[in-house]
Chains A and B, each alone.
Chain A
Amino acid sequence: MDFYLGLAQIIGIHTLLGLSAYCVLLTGQVSLAQAGFFAIGAYVAGMLTVLAEWPLIPALLAAAVIAGAIACAVGFPALRLRGLMLVVATIAFGESVRLFFFNFDYQITRGNIRVGPLGGEGFRQIRYFPEHGWSTLEVLLFVWMVVTLVMAALWWMDRSRAGAVLRAVGEDEVAAQSTGINITAVKVSAMTVGGVIAGAGGGIFAHYTTHIEHVQFGVVLATFAIAYPILGGLSNVFGTLLAVLFVQGFLIEGLRFLGDWRNLLFGALILLAMNLRPRGLLDAGAIAALRRLSYRKDATGA
Chain B
Amino acid sequence: MDLLDLIDTIQSIADGLLFGATYAMLGIGFTLIFGVMHKINLAYAAASVGAAYASLLILAGVKAPPAVVFLLSAVAGGVLGGIVYVVCFRFIPLVNPLATLMSTVGLLLLIDEIIVHETQGVPLAYPALFSDVIVRAGPFGLRGDLMFVFALGCVSMVVLLLLVYRTRLGLATRAVSQQPTAAQLCGISLDQVNGFTFIVTGVVGGVAGAMTGAAIGMLSPLLSLPLTVKGLIVTVIGGLGSIPGAIIAGLLVGGFENIFQFLRGVSERDLYVMLLLFAFLVFRPGGMFRTSSARE
Q: Do chains A and B touch in the complex (CB under 8 A)?
A: yes
Binding site for B on A (CB under 8 A): 25, 30, 77, 80-85, 87-89, 91-93, 95-96, 99-100, 102-103, 119-120, 218-220, 223, 226-227, 230-231, 260, 263-264, 266-271, 273-275, 278-279
Supply 26 A–B pairs (Cβ within 8 Å), ascending by A.
Answer: A80-B281, A83-B296, A84-B34, A84-B236, A85-B240, A87-B40, A88-B232, A89-B277, A92-B233, A92-B277, A96-B275, A99-B274, A103-B268, A119-B267, A218-B225, A219-B228, A227-B102, A263-B117, A266-B110, A270-B109, A271-B87, A271-B88, A271-B103, A271-B110, A275-B91, A279-B96
- Our pick among B107, B112, B267, B285 for the contact of A80 (Cβ within 8 Å) is B285
**Distance from A17 Cβ to chain B, minimum over Cβ atoms (Å):** 15
Interface contact A274-B92, CB-CB below 8 Å: yes
Scan residues 222-255 of chain B and give those whose CB is less than 8 A from a CB of chain A. 225, 228-229, 232-233, 235-236, 240
Report the separation of the CA atoms of residues A223 and B34 in the bound assembly, to the nearest whole angstrom.
19
Per-position 1/0 for B86-122, Cβ under 8 A of A:
0110011100101111110111111111101100000
Per-position 1/0 for B181-220, Cβ under 8 A of A:
0000000000000000000000000000000000000000
Residues of B near A274 (CB, < 8 A) are 88, 92, 99-100, 102-103, 106
Per-position 1/0 for B256-296, Cβ under 8 A of A:
00000000000110110011011001100100000000001
| Interface of B (DSSP majority class) | helix
Report the count of interface residues on B (CB-CB < 8 A): 46
Report the separation of the CA atoms of residues A82 and B285 in the bound assembly, to the nearest whole angstrom.
10
Binding site for A on B (CB under 8 A): 34, 40, 87-88, 91-93, 96, 98-103, 105-114, 116-117, 225, 228-229, 232-233, 235-236, 240, 267-268, 270-271, 274-275, 277-278, 281-282, 285, 296
| Residue on A nearest B100 in the bound complex, by CB | A274
Residues of B near A77 (CB, < 8 A) are 278, 281-282
Report the separation of the CA atoms of residues A173 and B240 in the bound assembly, to the nearest whole angstrom.
22
Residues of B near A85 (CB, < 8 A) are 236, 240, 281, 285, 296
Interface contact A278-B93, CB-CB below 8 Å: yes
Report the separation of the CA atoms of residues A99 and B108 in the bound assembly, to the nearest whole angstrom.
23
**Distance from A142 Cβ to chain B, minimum over Cβ atoms (Å):** 31
| Residue on A nearest B46 in the bound complex, by CB | A267
Residues of A near B116 (CB, < 8 A) are 263
Residues of B near A275 (CB, < 8 A) are 87, 91-92, 103
- Our pick among A88, A95, A230 for the contact of B101 (Cβ within 8 Å) is A230
Report the separation of the CA atoms of residues A273 and B233 in the bound assembly, to the nearest whole angstrom.
29
Interface contact A92-B274, CB-CB below 8 Å: yes
The residue in B102, B225, B282 that gathers the most chain A C-beta atoms within 10 A of its C-beta is B102
Report the separation of the CA atoms of residues A274 and B28 in the bound assembly, to the nearest whole angstrom.
27
Residues of B near A102 (CB, < 8 A) are 267
- Our pick among A92, A230, A263, A266 for the contact of B102 (Cβ within 8 Å) is A230
